[in-house]
Structures are given as C-alpha cells and as structure tokens.
Amino acid sequence: MELEALTSWFQHMPALTLVLARITALFVTAPVIGGAFVPATVKTLLAVAVALVLAPRAGPMVIPLDLSFILLLTREVLLGLCLGWLLSLYFVAVQMGGELINRHAGFSAAENFDPESNIGAGPMGDLLHLGLVLLFFATDGHHLLLASLARSYELMPLGTWSPPPGLGELVARGMTDAWAIALALSFPVLTAVMALTMTEGVMTRAIPQINVLQLSFAVKIVVSVGVLYAGMPAVVGFLGTVLTAMQMMAGSLIALR
C-alpha cells in the first residue's frame, strides 16, 4: 500500500508543480501580497496552500515528465506573471495619482522610503494606496482574486496557455487605464493648485513687494488637504470603481483567446 501511495504521489507531482508555478508567479507580481515587504516564506506557504486547494480543479493531474514539461512550466509561469502584473497596474496607478499631488501641492518634503517600490513616496501616495488596500480587503477582493485564479484553470487548463494575439492590446488598455486613474485622482487637487499658482502670479505682478513664495507652500498644502477632505467620499467611491476595473481586467485576460 505504501508503494502504491508513493507511486500515485509521484505521478501527480508534475501536475502539482505546474499548479504551483502559476500561483507562485501570480503571488510574485500581484498587488498587496506581491510587495517586497511580504516575506518570501509567507509567499511560499500561501502559494503551496492555495495550490493544494485548487489542484483538484486544475484538470488532468497525470502529466508526463519529459522535455515538453519545461514548455508547460514556462507557459504557467508566464500566465501567472501576466495576470499579477496587470492587476498591479491599478494599485500603481492610485499611488501614482498620489505622487502627482505630492509633487505639485508641496508634500515632496515629507517623502519617506517605500519598501514595496524601493523608491521615495510621499504621504498622499501612501494614503491613497493604503486606502485602496483596505478597501480591497473590505470588499473581499482577495476572495475574488482566488476565484478568478480558480476560474483560470477551467478556461485554461494546465500547460495550454500561450500569449494570444490580443495580449498586447490588453496591456495597452491596462496602461491607459492606469494613466486615466492617476489623472482622475489628482485632477481636483491639481486644478486648485493651478488656480493658486495663477493667483500668485497676478499678485506678484501687482504687488512686487510681497514675498509670495514664502506663503505659497503653506497655502497650497492647506488648500490641497481641504480639497481632499471635501472630496474623500468621492475618492472612496472612485477607488471602488478602480477595484471593479481591476476585476474586469483579470476576467478579460482569463477569457482571452
């Protein structure tokens, strides 16, 4: 009996490896869990746990271990990387919108090191990114992510995925969405800052004796915080729309042929 169990386990190992490859590649590039601040041990344990849960839905579990297995493994890794990278675009877009506010509203002096992106990040970028992460968990976005991953095994069984012709168009759409999200988030604050800058220019020409630059930084920060505070309900609603667009992007990639 032990020999039969070991033989059965060995026969299923190639398929389990393919399942683990897709999930691990997704966890490396996916938002939230794919950040550099998440320990590699945590990612590995989560990937193994999810792989064991989703393995029964992955299709045929007996795959020959030959040279073609390397090609199948490469396909699974590419699919996981593509899916995780496309999803991460929407989180990066929100943080980019916050960084636009930081640069033009005077928050750049309060930058700190961001361990996820390995670059300096300002308070507005961190605030909006953290708000999106909290909303992601509050709306069970992690459950929907796992559901999309399970659905991918139904539409694309192990080793059957290859980059479809429409993948480039889908990536271009994701990057366009990212820029649109960043500009839409920062537009109200940038409009207020631009109006203040024009007012400062008029005051400088009208009354040259006033040192406008000495007051402009504090005024821009106060006005920017006021605009964000007044528009926070709209921002939360917009972040929900961002999560919906991210879920639609995952579904589009999975259904792409």
- % of the chain beyond a pLDDT of 90: 1
Domain span holding position 179: 2-255
Residue 205 buriedness (CB in 10 A; 0-12 / 13-18 / 19+): exposed
Cβ-Cβ contacts under 8 Å for 75 (sequence gap 6 or more): 159, 160, 161, 162
Position 196 confidence tier, pLDDT thresholds 50, 70, 90 = confident
- % of the chain beyond a pLDDT of 70: 81
The three-state secondary structure class of 113 is strand
pTM, two decimals, is 0.80
| Exposure b/e, 143-175, CB count within 10 A at least 16 = b | ebbeebbeebbeebebbebeeeeeeeebeebbe
Q: Are 132 and 91 a contacting pair, CB within 8 Å?
A: yes
Answer whether residue 116 shows pLDDT above 70: no
Question: What pLDDT, on the 0 to 100 scale, is given for residue 114?
Answer: 55
Summarised one tens digit per residue, pLDDT across range 11-68 is 667 778 888 888 888 888 888 877 667 777 888 888 888 888 887 776 655 566 667 7
Position 10 confidence tier, pLDDT thresholds 50, 70, 90 = low
Answer whether residue 113 shows pLDDT above 80: no
Q: How far apart are CA 50 and CA 247, in angstroms?
A: 19
Question: What pLDDT, on the 0 to 100 scale, is given for residue 6?
Answer: 45
Q: Are 15 and 55 a contacting pair, CB within 8 Å?
A: yes
Question: What is the pLDDT averaged over residues 106-122?
Answer: 58
Answer whether residue 139 shows pLDDT above 80: yes
Q: How far apart are CA 126 and CA 232, in angstroms?
A: 15
Tell me the pLDDT of the chain averaged across its residues: 78
Question: What is the pLDDT averaged over residues 65-80?
Answer: 80
Q: Which residue has the higher pLDDT, 81 or 62?
A: 81
Question: What is the pLDDT averaged over residues 149-169?
Answer: 79
Q: What is the distance in angstroms between the CA of the first residue and the CA of the last residue of the chain?
A: 44
Please count the structural domains in the chain. Answer: 1
* Of 44-48, 109-113, 142-146, 177-181, minimum mean pLDDT range: 109-113
Question: What is the pLDDT averaged over residues 96-105?
Answer: 82
Answer whether residue 134 shows pLDDT above 60: yes
Question: What pLDDT, on the 0 to 100 scale, is given for residue 63?
Answer: 67
Question: What pLDDT, on the 0 to 100 scale, is given for residue 1?
Answer: 46
Question: What pLDDT, on the 0 to 100 scale, is given for residue 3?
Answer: 45
Answer whether residue 203 shows pLDDT above 80: no
In the block, residue with structure tokens 């139904």: 154
Q: How far apart are CA 167 and CA 183, in angstroms?
A: 25
Question: What pLDDT, on the 0 to 100 scale, is given for residue 59?
Answer: 62
